[in-house]
Amino acid sequence: MAKKTATKKKSVASKVTKTSVKTSTASKGAVAKAAKKTVKKPAPRKSTTARRPKGPVWQWSAVDTAAAIRNGAISAVETVEAHLERMRAVNPRLNAVVVDLSEEALKAAHAADKQRAKGVALGLLHGVPITIKENVDYEGRPNFNGVPANKDFVAPSDSPVVRNLKKAGAIVIGLTNTPEFSFRGFTDNPLHGLTLNPWDPNITCGGSSGGAGSAVAAGIGTIAHGNDIGGSLRWPAHCNGVATIKPTQGRIPAFNGSATAERPMLAHLMSAQGPLARHVGDVRLALDVMSQRDPRDPWWVPAPLAGPKPKGPIKVALARIPEDMDVDPSVRAALRQAADHLERSGYRVTEVDVPDIDGVWQTWCDIITNETVVMQEAGMLKVTSEDFHKAWGGMKTKANALDLKAWMQATAARNGHIRAWQLFFEEYPVVLAPTTVKPTPGPRDDTVSADRVKEIFWGEIRFISAINVLGLPGAVVPVTLHDGRPIGVQLIAGRYREDLALDAAAAIEKRAGVLAHRLWETME
């Protein structure tokens, strides 16, 4: 099936354009400058000291964009218009943004410019264009989550992550695609269709935040919101050659008022909201904004965004890959390259075994699968496509069926796994691990067979999904290209130490560069 989809770029793109896009009616120094909470007096509209970043507006980082708007080098309206123009130019062939919010985005941009002119306190992302994944509540709109039957689940208010981004001044230009119930690692659904990878239509953009990853890599918005329960931030970041952070559980508040029931316990404890962006500095800035308190999430934790710095040189554990995982040479080379970048930046990298990665992954698989079967499966299967049924059936093949006692034992085992990793971080504050050990698969590989799905989740992306059951932060940063396709690596740190993971990611990015610049050369 993947081969039928993976045709020449133009023919695939022409099919995607049939999917309609709905229109709504209704640098660290740079980070520091952008991170000032308030501005007492506005800078002059045009200033001789106002510095405009180089290149097209849509190519700027979020940090640079926020600074340029703040100092008067560009208006919010001009910024948003540039991103909307970029969206109109590339989205028809990608189908990454599935709800076009151009009209309200321009209204918000005009309001943002008036605020600045009046000297109103400016948020960290004042006037900065972003996208939101269409599986969190966006006030007044249905929360489709890739399912046509969800048309009546209209959001009564913005979800906490949307509210926090808007409060910081970010301007939402569109909502991005996600698979049905955000349950697949491939972004396709009967409502909006297939989302393509901007690097190559023959490989997946990932999932479930595939629309987010595709959009931000292509230059649609500076930051893309996504979420992650089994790799749904880190997998698309790898596939699309961008950076991300899956935060510690409790770091970013979450809630959907449109939901008809509360989420099951372990699904909530293993899920996290987060940003995708082309620059690690933008990921860090977005994390700051997204993580502000919201009383609707009882699991939110007011933990500081930065902790004490470990004694140098910081020891990094290069995770030894289990022998049963068939590692592609390109992946080994990328991991070695990332390790070299870290060592040249002052880290000390040693290849070691991490605590029971196989057992951790199996615990994730058993818990999430059994909880879903009991609480959600029947309802989901009634309203989803045959592709969903195939993919979900494949996900279940590696899970053990648990009775109540066994399920409780599995949830208890989770505590032991977390403890073992926390003790491991005492010696190695950062773990360098693969995202996948194989080349990126085709756009619909999870519909080939149940065995193929098992192969992907267990045999290829084991190091991604396992981290969710631990609730640990994990960053992904692109390292290199192989056959014109991006390869990223994962940086894992202890609970609420996103700063350590992002520091290591930034060290790699400094030497590897921002891969999106190379993508844009091929897209023009």
Does residue 291 carry a catalytic annotation? no
Active-site choice (61, 75, 133, 258): 133
Residue among 88, 98, 31 nearest 61 (CA): 31
Q: What DSSP element (H or E) covers 382?
A: helix 377-382
Per the CB < 8 A criterion, the answer to whether 270 and 469 are in contact is yes
Does residue 28 carry a catalytic annotation? no
Per the CB < 8 A criterion, the answer to whether 126 and 49 are in contact is no
Give pLDDT, residue 112: 98
Give pLDDT, residue 280: 98
Strands of the sheet containing 315-319, edge to edge, are 22-23, 97-100, 171-176, 129-133, 223-228, 272-277, 243-246, 474-482, 485-493, 430-434, 315-319, 348-352
Going by DSSP bridges, is the β-strand pair 315-319/430-434 parallel, antiparallel, or unpaired? parallel
Give pLDDT, residue 266: 85
Report the alpha-carbon distance of residue 220 to residue 71 in Å, rounded.
23
Q: What tokens does 378 get?
A: 């029947």
Give pLDDT, residue 268: 84
Q: List Cα–Cα distances, 223 to 132, 134, 332, in angstroms.
A: 9, 15, 29
Helices (H) and strands (E) in the chain, counts: 20, 12
203-218 per-position pLDDT tens digit:
999 999 999 999 999 9
Residue 40: exposure state from Cβ atoms within 10 A (0-12, 13-18, ≥19): exposed
Active-site choice (75, 159, 208, 465): 208
The segments of the chain whose pLDDT lies below 50 read: 1-48
Give pLDDT, residue 313: 97
Pick left, alpha or beta for residue 216 (phi over 0 → left; psi -120 to 50 → alpha; otherwise beta): alpha
Q: What's the helix, strand, coil split of the chain in %, to 5?
A: 45, 15, 40
Cβ neighbours for 3, distance < 8 A, ≥ 6 positions apart: 442
Does residue 47 carry a catalytic annotation? no
Report the alpha-carbon distance of residue 27 to residue 425 in Å, rounded.
28
Give pLDDT, residue 49: 57
Give pLDDT, residue 33: 44
**Could you say which DSSP state residue 206 is in?**
-
Active-site choice (61, 102, 232, 291): 232
**Could you say which DSSP state residue 152 is in?**
G
Per the CB < 8 A criterion, the answer to whether 475 and 338 are in contact is no
What are the residue ranges of helices labelled H in 443-524? 450-454, 462-470, 498-512, 516-523
67-117 per-position pLDDT tens digit:
999 999 999 999 999 999 999 999 999 999 999 999 999 999 999 999 999
Give pLDDT, residue 14: 38
Give pLDDT, residue 264: 87
